[in-house]
Homo-oligomer: A and B are copies of this chain.
Amino acid sequence: MPQKLLAFHRHNHTHCVSSALAEAQELCNERGARLTPLRRQVLELIWQSHIPLGAYALMDQLAELTTRRVAPPTVYRALDFLLEQGLVHRIHGLNAFIGCPTPGEHHQSEFLLCRDCGVAKEIDSEELSQAIRIVAEADGFLVENNSVEVTGLCPNCRPKDDAPHERA
């Protein structure tokens, strides 16, 4: 199965998580950034979900794991670090966070978001980024960052075909 379809299909996600953590560790080492136990744990929790996770959901999960209360600033600081390092993205439309599958490369925040099952799939399309640059430049606008959040239905949740006879 092509890599690009992964998020929308069954797969051994444990593997995704552990390789994401390993890659994160490596990147941080290279950069002299400190992937502390807390930050690592937050990253792991985010990666374990294909559905973007809110900061407070994350807090709850951390609280369960550590059996003691975790306050908002703790989580937000870890998230800020992960965002700075490009290890996670924020999904503004959901006030939530999702792991970045290609943290080493410079790239934008572009997602397909299923409104039914909630799964988020990052898209990395040169054509799309190009289209945005072209439109912006036509207005004399200097692009620094773009956020694309496309909502709809993923292959698992959309009607199975588009033929005239309904098949919900």
Binding site for B on A (CB under 8 A): 4-5, 8, 92-93, 112, 114-115, 121, 123, 125, 127-128, 130-132, 134-136, 138-155, 158
Contacts and interface: CB of A to CB of B under 8 A. Distances in A.
A11 to B, nearest CB: 15
Contact of A153 (B123, B132, B134, B142): B142
A38 to B, nearest CB: 27
B125 A139 contact: no
Contacts of A127: 131, 134-135
Q: How many copies does the complex hold?
A: 2
B92 A139 contact: no
Contact of A92 (B92, B112, B128): B92
Given A112-B136, A127-B135, A143-B152, 13 more contacts: A4-B138, A5-B139, A112-B135, A112-B139, A123-B136, A125-B135, A127-B134, A141-B150, A141-B152, A142-B154, A143-B150, A146-B150, A147-B151
Contacts of A136: 112, 123, 150, 152
A150 B155 CA distance: 27
Contacts of A132: 128, 148, 150
